Structure 1
Amino acid sequence: MPMCDFCSQSVVTLGAAAGGVLGGYAVDKLGRKLSLMLCSVPYIFGFMMIISAHNVWMLYCGRILTGLASGVTSLVVPVYISEISHSKVRGTLGSCVQLMVVTGILGAYVAGIALEWRWLAVLCSFPPCLMVIFMSFMPETPRYLLNQNKHPEAIAALKFLRGPHVDHEWERRQIETSAEEQHGLSLAEFKSPSIYKPFFIGVALMFFQQATGINAVMFYAEMIFEEASFKDSRMASVVVGSIQVCFTAVAALIIDKTGRKVLLCVSGIVMAISTAAFGFYFKMILPNQNNSSHPDFLTTPNCISSVAEHDLTWLAVVSLGLFITGFAIGWGPIPWLVMSEIFPLKARGFSSGACVLTNWLMAFLVTKEFNDLMDVLTSYGTFWLFSAFCILNVMFTVLCVPETKGKTLEQIEAYFQRSYT
C-alpha cells in the first residue's frame, strides 16, 4: 500500500512534536521510568494499526501514534540516562541514545530488504514490548525520587545504580541539597538568566540540528547512490545507515575525553564543507537549473548526460559520506545529550518538552518545505543555505554552549546560577 514519502514523514514528525509536549508533562508528573513504560502503548497500537491497515488513513493513524511515542521517547530517554549516569561516563551513555537510534534504523533497512512492509511492522512492534519488560527491573532516577521526597526509594536506587559497596553518601547529599532548593516552576522565573539561558541554548541546539539539512541530504541519498551505479537503492540505505552507526559509536567512545564543544565544532565544519560541495555538484551538473529545480531533476535524460559529461558523481558520494560522518560525530547525538544536562531539575520537563517540540517541528518544516526551497533558491542555493547554517552552528557553539564534560548535573546547574545571578 504505497504512501507519499513526504506525507508519511510529515505525519511522523507532527506526531513526534506532539509527543514532545506530552513527554514534557509526563516526565515531571509521572516520573521518568513510568513515562518510558507508558510510551510503549502508542508504539504497540500504532504498529498494530499499520499491520492491519486496509486503507491509507489507517497507515497515517499508525504513523501518528508511533510518531507520538517517538516524541515522548526522544525526551524521556536522554533525561533518564543523564540522571542515573555517573558524571565520568554520562557523555558516553548519553551518546548511546543516538547510537541505538541509528542502529535501529540500520536494522530496519536490513530487514526491509527481505521483509514485506507488514512483516517489517510486526518486527518493529517487538522492541516496545521488550522496553516494558526491561524497564520494570530498573529504578526511578534518584533525582526525581528526592524531588518527590521519597528518600528511602532514592537511596535504594543509588545502591542499585552504583553498587552496594560504593560510598554513595556524597552523591546523595549533593542531589538532596539541590532537590531541596527546587520548587514548582512559574513563568515569572523565566526572567532569571539561570533559567532562560539554558532554555535558549537547548532550543537553539535543536533548531540548528535540523537546519543543517540532514533530512534533505538523506532524501537525496538513494538517488546519489543510483547515479553512482548502485543497482539496489535499498543497499544504499544500508551503506548510509552503517556509516551513521560507525561514527556515532566513535563519538560515544571519545565524547567524555574530547568534550561536547570540540565535537560540535568539528561536526559543524565537516558538514559545512560537505553541503557546500553538494551545492557545487548541483551547480555543475545543472548549469540551467533555474528552470528545473524539481527534486526529480536527476532522472531526466538531460541531467544524466550532464552528469556523465562532468563525471562528478564521485563528488556527490564523497560529500554524502562526509556529511553523514560529520553529523554522526557531533550534531546528531550531542544536542540530545546537552539537552538532558543543562536544565535545572524544576525546569527539566518543560524545557526538554520545548526542545523536542522545536526539533520535530523543524524536521516537519524542512521535510515539507524542501521542494519550495528548491523552487525558490535552486538546488545548489538550497544546499549552500544549509552550509551557511552549519557555519552558524559552529559560531553558536563557540559563543554560547558551555562545556559540560566531567561535571555533575548539580555542578552544571550551579554554573548557570553563579554566572547569571
Structure 2
Amino acid sequence: MSFRDDSEDGRDIRKPFLHTGSWYRMGSRQSSMMGSSQVIRDNSVSVIACVLIVALGPIQFGFTSGYSSPTQSAITSDLNLTTSEFSLFGSLSNVGAMVGAIASGQIAEYIGRKGSLMIAAIPNIIGWLAISFAKDYSFLYMGRLLEGFGVGIISYTVPVYIAEIAPQNLRGALGSVNQLSVTIGIMLAYLLGLFVNWRILAVLGILPCTILIPGLFFIPESPRWLAKMGMTEDFEASLQVLRGFDTDISSEVNDIKRSVASTSRRTTIRFAELKQRKYRLPLMIGIGLLILQQLSGINAVLFYSSTIFASAGVTSSNVATCGLGAVQVIATFVTTWLVDKAGRRLLLIISSAGMTVSLLIVAVSFFCKGFISDDSSFYDALSIAAVVGVVLMVIAFSLGIGAIPWIIMSEILPINIKGLAGSVATLANWFFAWVVTMTANLLLQWSSAGTFAIYMVVCAFTVVFVSIWVPETKGRTLEEIQLSFR
C-alpha cells in the first residue's frame, strides 16, 4: 500500500491505492516484522554501490585541488610562466567553482542529481584536455576554469545525493565518503605527480569523470527528488531498489510523502523565501559551518606545509607532502567509521578543539623562533614542533570539520529550498576558500605566528558555534531533522 500524489489537482494527497503490475514487489510479512535498521543493513549493498559510483566526482574534485602542487616547477619551466601567472592558474579553479556553485542547486533541481553530475563531468574532461595540450597560459587558464566549474557542481550535488539515498543508520558514514574521496584524489595527484609528466598527469585526470558518466546510467535517481517532482511510481521504484526488493518501504514512503506534501513542485525559489523565520536557523548552521571550515585556514596550512617541512630539515618536501596526504586519507577514513557511532556534533567539537590546540602549537613555535638563533638546538626543536602541529591540525580537521559540514548541510536544508540554499552555502564555501588561498602568502609574510593565531581563534569560535547551535542528527531521518526546525 502506498499513497498517490494528487496534490496538483487538489485532492487528498494521502488517498490510498494499490500498485498493480508494478515491476517491483513489497517486502514479505517476515521482512516487515524485522527491525528496520536490520533490514536496511542487510539491503545496503545497492546504496553502497551508488555511493561508490558518485564518489568518482569527489575524487575528481581532489585531483583538481592537488594537481598544481607537484606540477608547479615543470609547468612554469615548460611554458615560461612567472610565479604570479602560475598562482593565478592555481586560484582559477576556485573562481570556476564559485560559478559552478551558483548554478549547482538550480541544475540539480531542474534535471535531478544524476543529470547534474553528468553535466559536471563534461567541463572537467574538456578542462583536463585543454591543460594537457596547452602551449601557453591561455589554454591553462581556460582548462582550470572549466575544471573548477565542474567541481563546484560536484561539491554540492554529491553530498546531497548521498544524504537523500542513504538509510538513516548509515547516512553519516556514507556521507563521509564524499570527503574521503576528495582526500584520495589529492593524494593520487601528489603521488602520480612524482612519477609522470604534467601533461600525462592532466590526461590521467580525465579518468574519474570518464568512468562516472557511464556509471550514472546504472544507479537510480534520488527518491526524494522524484517525490518532490511528483513522479510517484518512479520515486517508489527508486526507493525499493535502494532498500532491497524484500524490504517493506511503506513507512519510509509515507514519511517522504508527508515531507513533500506541503512543498511546491516548481524549481525556481526566490531569495525572499529564504528570509522566512523557519529557515533562518538551518541556513545559519549550514552556511556557517561551511564558512568556518575554510576560515580554519586548512588550505593555507596545506599550502605552507612544504616550507614548514623544509624548515625542519626534511630533504624532500614533495615526499613529505604525499605523506601528509596519506595521513589525511587515514584520518578521514576513521571519521567514516566513527560518524554514525559518536555522532556529528561530538566529532565537530573534538575536531575544532583539536585544531585550536594544534594551531596554538604552530603559532607559539613560530613566535618563539623569532627570538632564538638559527644554530640553537632549541630552534630545531621548535621547527619539529611546528611540523607536529601541522600534522595534528590536518588529522583534527579530517576527523570532523573536513567531512561533517557537508553532511550537516545536506541533512538540515528542507527539500523545497535545498537547491537555492545549497547553492548559497556552496558558493560561500568556495568564496572563502579563495579568500584564504589568496591572502595566505600576504599574511605569512606579515607574521607566521600571527597568521596561525588568527586561524586558531576561528577554530576556537567554531567550538562555541557547534556547542550552541548545531543539533545532533545521528539516527534521525531527513524528514525528522527538517521538521524539528519548524
Q: What band does the TM-score fall into relative to the shorter chain?
A: over 0.9
Counterpart code for 2:419: G
Matches within 5 A, 1:90-129: 90-129=171-210
Checking the alignment, whether the CA contact within 8 Å between 1:146 and 1:176 is kept in structure 2 is: yes
Q: Which runs of 5+ in 1 are unaligned?
A: 289-301
Shift of residue 370, structure 1, vs aligned partner: 1.9
In the alignment, the residues of structure 1 paired with residue 445 and residue 317 of structure 2 have an alpha-carbon distance, to the nearest angstrom, of: 26
Q: Name the residue aligned to 1:373.
A: 443
Mapping for residues 230-309 of structure 1, pairs under 5 Å: 230-287=314-371, 305=375, 309=379
Q: Which residue of 2 aligns with 1:34?
A: 115
Q: What pairs up with 1:38-53 in 2 under 5 angstroms?
A: 38-53=119-134
Superposed counterparts of 1:19-418, under 5 Å = 19-183=100-264, 184=266, 185-287=269-371, 305=375, 309-376=379-446, 378-417=447-486
Q: Partners in 2 of 1:309 and 1:20 — Cα distance?
A: 44
TM-score, normalised by the number of residues in structure 1: 0.92
Q: Distance in 1 between matches of 2:238 and 2:381?
A: 60
State whether residues 11 and 63 of structure 1, in contact with CA within 8 Å, keep that contact through their aligned partners in structure 2.
yes
Counterpart contact for 1:6–1:367, Cα < 8 Å: no
Partner of residue 96 from structure 2, selected from 12, 15, 22: 15
Retained in 1: the 8 A contact 2:274–2:417? Answer: no
Question: Where does the alignment leave 5 or more consecutive residues of structure 2 unmatched?
Answer: 1-74
Distance in 2, matches of 1:242 and 1:10, equals 24
The alignment's C-alpha RMSD in Å is: 1.6
Q: Do 2:228 and 2:263's aligned partners in 1 also have CA atoms closer than 8 Å?
A: yes
Paired with 1:234 and 1:171, the residues of 2 have a C-alpha distance of 49
Deviation at 1:186, TM superposition (A): 3.9
**Aligned partners of 2:462 and 2:93: how far apart in 1?**
26
Equivalent residue letter for 1:175: I
Q: Which has the higher contact order (CA 8 A, sep 6+)?
A: 1
CA contact (8 A) 1:285 1:310 kept: no
Deviation at 1:375, TM superposition (A): 4.8
Contact 1:260–1:404 (8 Å) recurs in 2: yes
SS of alignment partner, residue 352 of structure 1: helix
Closer/same/farther in 2, CA of residues 168 and 227 from structure 1, 3 Å limit:
same
Whole-angstrom distance in 1 between the partners of 2:244 and 2:132: 43
Question: How many residues matched?
Answer: 402
**1:310 deviation in Å?**
5.0
- How much does 1:231 deviate? 2.0
Paired with 1:262 and 1:371, the residues of 2 have a C-alpha distance of 33
| 1:293 counterpart residue number | none
Residues 352-405 of structure 1: CA distance to partner in whole angstroms, max 9, x if unpaired? 1111100110011111122333355x2211111110000000000001111111
Distance 2:443 2:383 in 1: 23
Taking only the aligned residue pairs, the percentage that are identical comes to 36
**Alpha-carbon offset, residue 314 of structure 1:** 1.4
Q: Which residue of 2 aligns with 1:298?
A: none
Distance 1:369-1:307 versus aligned 2 partners, 3 A rule: farther
Larger radius of gyration: 2
Q: Tell me if the contact between 2:366 and 2:382 (Cα under 8 Å) persists in the aligned partners.
A: no
Task: Give CA-to-partner distance per residue, 1:77-125, whole Å, 9 cap, x none.
Answer: 0000000000100000000100011011111111111011100011110
